[in-house]
Structure 1
């Protein structure tokens, strides 16, 4: 299968710069699943969610079609990384308790993936798909970030970005929905980490490839002024959207 690969070229940057998901999310999913024997992290990227799942499940199978992303994944004894598409995994039928997709569902062939999830899940197994979009710090920082997000990189985002911004609201979800609590997604970063995150955006990387210069550098002085003290640790918050259900 071919796949839309927007991250392999900067897999190492992506691994270091992306935010973590709420710890309470994984604890909730472990309790909702039939057991904590095995979880599948489909479209795992660098294994960000895989590592957290490995603390709550006995075994985690983590798959991604990008060999470069898998090569940059964080290893754990109970994580098995595999280079393969989510729509056609090597998992046995009825072999996993949880199927999760962290910030990757918008790249999938959904009809085929939904069929694959049903095939590999145990009876009453759980599916969990989540995404996050825009972030906030304060009015001054956000104004500069919006210049990057809208004015500079806006034309370079893949069209699937609209699905992320909507929180996957328009995507089909052919599973029995599970009521979920609210999860707050936030990180505490200094300015250098925040700038690295902006540079990890697929829109930023596509801009760089097209125009051969870094759009973040065009705004860096203004971002530094808005942040005030570069070493100051600030709270960065995202809108977090979770869709959870059972077969």
Structure 2
């Protein structure tokens, strides 16, 4: 199954349960750009990065191979949407002061993509890609999530997931990287929100299509026992991992 097909299923569900990136990340990105006229979000999905970028940049362009994903957000008023593959962007040379790839670089971290990103970036333009892997709540919940990820769903993750699990340490871009501060996604979730998020995992969807049942049924029962009141909110965290630099320098 293609990458775009993986994320064309229930884009509204994906948008609802995916975590929100920290606001200070986008401020940092804008502060490290020499200009803030145009930002391009590649593999933008439902706009988790596109929308907050519009606060800091005059123009934001969201590119994604999946039309369903680009339609899966409540409002795109401040963002221009383009259906396009990451390696073939219908954008003019040097148009972007910033190119970002949020939780997607592992699908297309190829020489062709990096050449395309450099082409659309201004000479001093900033490139930044980031990912997050397993959420952390507390040891009694983390153990169940680790079991789901590494045992139940083993063999059902698409190629590229290992890059996320390694924090992108296996991706070597053709430019000198810069250090990015330690940003963390943090939120408060109840049990319904946690289960909704786990159901957005691509490996969960694959397992379900193969076996004709929900891999979270049994795990959900145990999570529920440990969670207690399902409306009770708990702190959930995802550390972010970055590849960033100025390809044109």
TM range (shorter): over 0.9
User: Aligned residue pairs: how many?
Assistant: 246
More helix by share: 1
Equivalent residue, structure 2, for 1:39: 39
CA contact (8 A) 2:94 2:120 kept: yes
The ranges of structure 1 where at least 4 consecutive aligned residues each deviate by more than 4 angstroms after the TM superposition are none
Q: Deviations over 1:198-223 (max 9, x none)?
A: 11101111111111111112211110
**Higher alpha-carbon deviation: 71-80 or 163-172:** 71-80
Quote how far apart the aligned CAs of 1:34 are: 1.4
For 1:76 and 1:109, how far apart are their aligned partners in 2? 27
Kindly tell me: are residues 44 and 153 of structure 1, through their superposed partners in 2, closer, same or farther at Cα, counting changes over 3 Å? same
For 1:145 and 1:171, how far apart are their aligned partners in 2? 25
For 2:94 and 2:216, how far apart are their aligned partners in 1? 46
Equivalent residue, structure 1, for 2:76: 76
Quote how far apart the aligned CAs of 1:154 are: 1.8
Kindly tell me: are residues 3 and 238 of structure 1, through their superposed partners in 2, closer, same or farther at Cα, counting changes over 3 Å? closer
Equivalent residue, structure 1, for 2:25: 25
Quote how far apart the aligned CAs of 1:71 are: 1.6
Quote how far apart the aligned CAs of 1:56 are: 1.4
For 1:109 and 1:183, how far apart are their aligned partners in 2? 22
Equivalent residue, structure 2, for 1:51: 51
Pairs within 5 Å for 1:192-203: 192-203=192-203
CA contact (8 A) 1:43 1:64 kept: yes
For 1:68 and 1:161, how far apart are their aligned partners in 2? 22
Equivalent residue, structure 1, for 2:10: 10
What 5-or-longer segments of structure 1 have no aligned partner?
none
Kindly tell me: are residues 4 and 75 of structure 1, through their superposed partners in 2, closer, same or farther at Cα, counting changes over 3 Å? closer
CA contact (8 A) 1:39 1:60 kept: yes
Equivalent residue, structure 2, for 1:101: 101
RMSD after superposition? 1.4
- Structure 2 length as normaliser, TM-score? 0.94
For 1:114 and 1:172, how far apart are their aligned partners in 2? 10
Pairs within 5 Å for 1:147-162: 147-162=147-162
CA contact (8 A) 2:183 2:239 kept: no
Equivalent residue, structure 1, for 2:64: 64
- Structure 1 length as normaliser, TM-score? 0.95
Pairs within 5 Å for 1:77-226: 77-108=77-108, 110-226=110-226
For 2:91 and 2:78, how far apart are their aligned partners in 1? 16
Quote how far apart the aligned CAs of 1:3 are: 5.1
What secondary structure, in the 3-state scheme, does the structure 2 residue paired with 1:93 have?
coil
Kindly tell me: are residues 161 and 3 of structure 1, through their superposed partners in 2, closer, same or farther at Cα, counting changes over 3 Å? closer
Quote how far apart the aligned CAs of 1:175 are: 2.1
What 5-or-longer segments of structure 2 have no aligned partner?
none
Equivalent residue, structure 2, for 1:234: 234
